[in-house]
Amino acid sequence: MTPAPAILLSMFLPLACALLISMSGRWPNVREGVTLVTATLLFLTVLSLVPTVVAGSRPEATLIEMLPGLPLRFVVEPLGMLFALVASGLWIANSIYSIGYMRGNKEAHQTRFYACFALALASTMGIAFAGNMMTLFVFYEALTLTTYPLVTHSGTPEAMRAGRTYLGILLGTSIGLQLLAILWTWQIAGTLDFTAGGILNGKVAGPMVGVLLLLYMYGIGKAALMPLHRWLPAAMVAPTPVSALLHAVAVVKAGVFTVMKVAVYIFGIDFLRDSGQSQWLLYIAAATVLIASLVALTKDNLKARLAYSTISQLAYVVLGAALATRWGVIGGSMQIAMHAMGKITLFFCAGAIYTAAHKTEISDMSGLGRIMPFTFGAFAIGAMSVIGLPPFGGLWSKWYLILGSIQADEMIMVGVLILSSLLNVAYLLSIPLIGFFGKATGGVQPAAIKEAPLACLIAIGLTALGCLLLFFLPGPLFSLLAPIATP
């Protein structure tokens, strides 16, 4: 298959999947079979584009011209290639996991769940391969709308309140700030195409660069930059596979991916660095990293702790973009993949604990690791990867972010990254330690090993293995990303 049809097929496959799922709702095995087959086909389709991109080509496809000079256009460049691989690959794992979780917990509205999940992946592929800022904006909004039914899946008053917060913040920031930034960029640059080196150099200067950057960074609400982060903890009311989608596969990754695209292809890292207007963003990102970590330490609910961990870890990507150095951009971009693999493992484990033991509070999990050794062992692996400990993949993104901070002569940021990792140890590794070595209380009684359904364990094993492989095989990832930060 030639690249252009493959690009369009990557969006058509999840759309077709959603339709087939809706038609097969009365036959759960068929519905879930369609999901697994489509997820695999999507990943293979995305994978087929890798050799072309690695060879230096930038395949493209255009659907329609929305306005003169403003087409709905798709271009596959290295950063988008990375995001598409992460999202499509983890859709397979999440689909396997969802079968065990949704059946194990006898969740209602499963057909709607799988259909909306597929629609969200179609939107994600559009974001990954967007060739200009307006195309990205269209699919960014589609992702918000297609994930709303997932956030409100249970239909409880709490879920509906969370859904209102979710829509209010994400639509409010994107329409009120991001769209304004896009229109301003179109007016001053005459184009919205993602261009190597950026499109704003020589078109805007001085404090106006900082104002435009602020509109973009806070207009990209999915990046959960403080103080516009409340939607993310609120959305944890959704089923765990949705939490995994929000944190690892699509939503928050779409946010920080957009941040990096704007920094690299709209502003250009050389222009950002020379203008000096990204300094404020650097300190906002650093504050988010540390404050969210401190809040995570106070949370006893496991999913709430993981939610604030995600807010902190997302800010690493923003920090990498704000450093505006070669190593900072590569480290921030690698963090998209490294964090995705580690955090989806953690959420899978949280859902497995709920499914098998009906525990949601960390204080109730003392001794539970001896009953669920596989789940708590995998949690330890995911935690060490997120922390950045060898031999797990999260080490490399933090390594390059530290190099990027040194390259930018921002030694305070080196300290922030090291302190953040120590805080990660405190709020993540304490969980498996409590599980394995804590004294069993009234909440956990000695029992035979009782794990979550097999489908959940298979998915957990796959992503935990991924954390390990990303440590030993970072070369292909680095080679893919290197061109976006070539001096």
Q: Report which of residues 396 and 32 the model is more confident about.
A: 396
pLDDT score for 445: 54
pLDDT score for 437: 87
pLDDT score for 229: 86
The dihedral sign for the CA sequence 266, 269, 270, 272:
positive
Burial 439-454 (b: 16+ CB within 10 A, else e): eeeeebeeeeeebbbe
Checking if the pLDDT of 444 tops 60, the result is no
pLDDT score for 182: 95
Checking if the pLDDT of 440 tops 90, the result is no
Checking if the pLDDT of 306 tops 70, the result is yes
Question: Is 484 part of a structural domain of the chain?
Answer: yes
Checking if the pLDDT of 109 tops 90, the result is no
Contact 258, 223 (CB under 8 A): yes
Checking if the pLDDT of 396 tops 60, the result is yes
pLDDT score for 151: 85
Question: Is 132 part of a structural domain of the chain?
Answer: no
Checking if the pLDDT of 50 tops 70, the result is yes
The dihedral sign for the CA sequence 487, 204, 81, 331:
positive
Q: What is the span of the domain harbouring residue 428? A: 278-487
Please calculate the CA angle 163-166-170 and round it to the nearest 5 degrees: 145
Checking if the pLDDT of 369 tops 80, the result is yes
Mean pLDDT of 448-457: 85
Mean pLDDT of 114-141: 93
Task: Return d(Cα 125, Cα 61) in angstroms, integer.
Answer: 13
Checking if the pLDDT of 69 tops 70, the result is yes
Q: Which of 272, 306, 437 has the alpha carbon at shortest distance from 368? A: 437
Question: Is 289 part of a structural domain of the chain?
Answer: yes
% of the chain with per-residue pLDDT over 70: 97
Checking if the pLDDT of 404 tops 90, the result is yes
Burial 39-56 (b: 16+ CB within 10 A, else e): bebbbebbeebbebbeee
Question: Is 358 part of a structural domain of the chain?
Answer: yes
Question: Is 347 part of a structural domain of the chain?
Answer: yes
Checking if the pLDDT of 443 tops 60, the result is no
Checking if the pLDDT of 370 tops 60, the result is yes
pLDDT score for 320: 94
pLDDT score for 447: 61
Question: Is 353 part of a structural domain of the chain?
Answer: yes
Q: Report which of residues 449 and 375 the model is more confident about.
A: 375
Contact 395, 335 (CB under 8 A): no
pLDDT score for 298: 93
Checking if the pLDDT of 244 tops 80, the result is no
pLDDT score for 472: 94
Q: Report which of residues 264 and 438 the model is more confident about.
A: 264
Who's near 32: CB < 8 A, 6+ residues apart?
95, 99, 114
Name the average pLDDT for the chain.
Answer: 89
Q: Are strands 70-75 and 60-67 parallel, antiparallel or unpaired?
A: antiparallel
Q: Which two tokens stand for residue 270?
A: 């050389």
pLDDT score for 36: 92
* Number of compact structural domains in the chain: 1
pLDDT in tens, 74-96: 999 999 999 999 999 999 998 99
pLDDT score for 459: 92
Contact 370, 436 (CB under 8 A): yes
Q: Report which of residues 241 and 217 the model is more confident about.
A: 217
pLDDT in tens, 315-360: 999 999 999 999 999 999 999 999 999 999 999 999 899 888 888 8
pLDDT score for 417: 95
Contact 165, 206 (CB under 8 A): no
Contact 306, 346 (CB under 8 A): yes
Question: Is 236 part of a structural domain of the chain?
Answer: no
Q: Which of 382, 408, 252 has the alpha carbon at shortest distance from 317? A: 252
Contact 401, 331 (CB under 8 A): yes
Question: Is 56 part of a structural domain of the chain?
Answer: no
Mean pLDDT of 255-284: 92
Distances (CA, A) of 342 to 43, 122, 147, 232, 313: 19, 23, 22, 18, 11
Q: Residue 163: pLDDT band by 50, 70, 90 thresholds?
A: confident
